[in-house]
Structure 1
Amino acid sequence: MSDVAPVGTVADARESALGAWFRKRGGAIVAFIALFVAWELAVRVTGIKEYLLPPPSRVYTEFMKRFDPVMASAWVTTREIVAGYLLAIVVSVPLALWIAYSRFMENAVYPVIVFLQIIPKIAVAPLFIIWFGFGFAPKLLVVFLLSFFPIIVSSIAGFKSVDPDIMDFARTTGASQWKMFAMIRLPQALPQIFTGLKVGAALAATAAVVAEFVASDKGLGYLLLQYNGNLDTPMVFATIILLSLIGLAVYYTVELIERFTIPWHVSQRLTAEETLA
């Protein structure tokens, strides 16, 4: 198994992978700071009207003036993102395992999942409002639907990628089905599962905003519509940046868990080596 390190090195690999992750994020922070500095200078030098493109300093000032109501809305949107995303994980990973090892499920259920994914989510969001009202449930369902498909597709591919020779060898040693799953099938599937989890995390924030655009009286999506309607450009930018930060937080949380969970995988080792170099 070429992408697995010896057992004795897993702890060292985990420590190295975590250190590499933090070092790699340092470069991203510098890049973001440079972006905001360039943005500020561009607005000041060109003299562009602030209602068209406000400088970051103005965006920050306006955000701090309305910090409490904006952060209250951010908490609402964050709950929708996290709850819908976790529900997608809880449903999609076990279902992917069932589909991967059941020919009937693959032939009967998987086409239905693909069909449901093709349906535009913004088209069915109003139906969720009709069925469940204006509360938390319709937003959760939209986030769930957008996050679900990439997670289940990657998870199915991961569970199917197990080397049959390894499974045959495990059977000759008398390993139980549960032990083969815990020691072979799940670890080998995790890299692709995490790929789907990261794609799903990136879509979750977008899904929550789409749901709040359709019908909501709170949340960052609702605020974004209000600020846009009032031509409050600084707060439009502040809300967009805050939404992006929430999405990044979810994404990088998943990535950090990935590095801690599978430091032995070749992708994590290569990243650590490149960072150290």
Structure 2
Amino acid sequence: MKWVREKGGAIFLLLFILCSWELLVKVNEVPGWLLPAPIAVFSEAIKVIPSFSTDIFSTIQLALLGLTIGSLVGFIIAVLLHMMPFVQKMVYPLLILSQNIPIIVLAPLLIIWFGFGLMPKLIIIGLVCFFPIVVAALDGFKNTASELKYYMEMAGASKSQLFWKLELPHSLPSLFSGLKISATYSVMGAVISEWLGAKQGIGVFMTLSQSSFRTDRVFVAIFTIMLLSILIFGLLRMVERIVIKGKMER
């Protein structure tokens, strides 16, 4: 019952949107190649799921690998910038500027530099994922209670002890917030990277469907991307609750 109370509004809104969409297509007799009805999309999803499943698993593997690498790089950068404030003042503005570079524009250059293999795909996903981790981690380190830091410094704690024993544990909520944002971006980054050139994946499936005017299959791919993002987000929320609850019980 608690889950129904918390999620009931969102479920009702989603059903309302889908029903309105279905009604709009039927009443206006919109052709399927232009805008398929939700029922037609779900029917097509059932038909293609045996062959589409390999594309889904390929994208999941790519997204999780890119998310892991991007998160580790982002965390390491955040720790280095936190430990060296003078470097942070120089590098942080450049990190912000890096997020203004369109990935679609950068992608062809990555192919020229690194070829069509796994490397350019991981770079694209990493570029999408690392920045939220950096920002969230730095904010978490910065927002550690000053009185606790002062107490540990008075007790003779070194800078590394202060970080591992106090600042890192207190930054976990912020860190997980950044990680959840990166997780939702990772699937999108994986699909974009597959547009550059891949043998299988949701991005490949979407490109082939679009070129053959199978709009219903394009929507199948879109809904799958949304579902995967929600699943990864939910998984990280579960991990967050376990980790933070464990820290609080100690």
Q: Which TM-score band applies after superposition, normalised by the shorter structure?
A: 0.7 to 0.9
Letter in 1 for 2:19: V
Kindly report which structure 2 residues correspond to 1:148-159, keeping only aligned pairs within 5 A, or say none: 148-159=130-141
Unpaired runs of 5+ residues, structure 1, are 1-18, 266-277
- Partner of residue 205 from structure 1, selected from 170, 187, 193: 187
Percent identity over the alignment? 32
Helix, strand or coil: the match of 1:109?
Answer: helix
Give CA deviations for 1:19-47 in whole Å, capped at 9, x if unaligned. 97786345534443443333333333443
Provide closer, same or farther for how the CA distance between residues 26 and 79 of structure 1 changes in structure 2, counting only shifts above 3 A.
farther
Higher relative contact order (CA 8 A, sep 6+): 1
1:120 aligns with 2:120: no
Give CA deviations for 1:27-68 in whole Å, capped at 9, x if unaligned. 534443443333333333443222222222211222222212
CA distance in 2, matches of 1:176, 1:107: 23
CA distance in 2, matches of 1:162, 1:23: 34
1:100 aligns with 2:82: yes
- Partner of residue 117 from structure 2, selected from 131, 135, 145: 135
Helix, strand or coil: the match of 1:231?
Answer: coil
Conserved in 2, the CA contact under 8 Å of 1:21 and 1:256?
A: no
The offset of 1:98, in angstroms, is 1.6
CA distance in 1, matches of 2:46, 2:19: 19
The runs of 4+ residues in structure 1 deviating greater than 4 Å are 19-23, 174-179
Q: Give the RMSD, CA atoms, in angstroms.
A: 2.7
Conserved in 2, the CA contact under 8 Å of 1:122 and 1:211?
A: no
1:259 aligns with 2:237: no
The offset of 1:145, in angstroms, is 0.5
Kindly report which structure 2 residues correspond to 1:223-262, keeping only aligned pairs within 5 A, or say none: 223-262=205-244
Q: TM-score, normalised by structure 1?
A: 0.78
Q: TM-score, normalised by structure 2?
A: 0.86
The offset of 1:238, in angstroms, is 0.6
CA distance in 1, matches of 2:4, 2:169: 24
The offset of 1:252, in angstroms, is 2.2
Please name the residue that 2:36 is paired with.
Answer: 54
Letter in 2 for 1:191: P
CA distance in 2, matches of 1:213, 1:178: 43
1:195 aligns with 2:207: no
Provide closer, same or farther for how the CA distance between residues 26 and 262 of structure 1 changes in structure 2, counting only shifts above 3 A.
farther
The offset of 1:148, in angstroms, is 0.9
Helix, strand or coil: the match of 2:216?
Answer: helix
CA distance in 1, matches of 2:12, 2:139: 36
